[in-house]
Structure 1
Amino acid sequence: MTIFILFISIIINIVSIFAIIILYIRQNRLMHVEQDQKKVLQEMEEMFSTYLIEIRDENEEFIKKVQSIYHSKMELKENVEGDKSYQDKISSQNEQKNEVPALQTFMRSRAEKTYQSAMTQNDIQDAENQSIDFATLPLEKQAYLLEKEGLTIEQIAKELHKGKTEIELLLKFRQKI
């Protein structure tokens, strides 16, 4: 009987040692995962901070370019007042165009959009004031004029032989412009 108890004791000791080893390995894995996560977190913070520094530097360069354009325009105005020649004016304007083409492109596109919206509004007012053939107007203008007359979207769709959704979208886009 003592041999049986001794044998069970040895087996329990072996199983407990095996369990301790498994727990130790799992704990080490968890610690390695934590360390890896800390490294990844630190790398992400470093990347984010360098990204912010780059953005700040680019913004400072942009501000300097805008200020230089502003100062050159001010100098141009002063020079125009001081009887500067026409060739000098053109060359300074060309230099300004070369400095910040993206800004000028953006400003030009904004001006074109504003001009086009003003033109379309003027065209509609002209069409209302004059007796222009309704069929020659673009679909958008026809729908707008019919809506202005008080017709519903369904009536406009029937009048223009288009879908209700299409007319709805045309009028919605028209309102946003």
Structure 2
Amino acid sequence: MLFLFIINLIIGLTAILLFFILYTKMSKMHSLENEYRQLLKEAEETISSFVYELKEDNERLLKKLSTNSAREHHSDKENVIQQNSFVYREHATKSEDLKELLQYDEHSQPLSTYEQAKELKNYGYSIDDIAQKLGKGKTEIELLLKFRQN
């Protein structure tokens, strides 16, 4: 009987010791869980503040870009108008030169297609422009200039 009592006592003390160890581990686990929740909350707050700052920066950048874009768009329109007027004047000058070139007196012989094409090429006209001005095909003008070049 004494033997059973000692075994019962040892089992009881072991059970109490195991409950104590289990309780300490559980309390550590709860404290770690609380720490992780706190860290998670801080991380979420940090990320949300970062996202908010990023959003504000993007809005400021968009406003700045829209004002710059509006200014550039206005200045681009002015540049296009100036370029168009320059191109128009240049084209008008070339057209007058072309008319003078293609006109001939009654006493002089009319220029051949090759001579006209050569003159237009010397004035800087492209093959397409020459073909259009002379009413010929692009390939015809290319071949004419290429074969008569030598």
Q: TM-score range by the shorter chain?
A: 0.3 to 0.5
Please tell me whether Structure 1 or Structure 2 has the larger radius of gyration of its CA atoms.
2
Give TM-score scaled by structure 1 length.
0.42
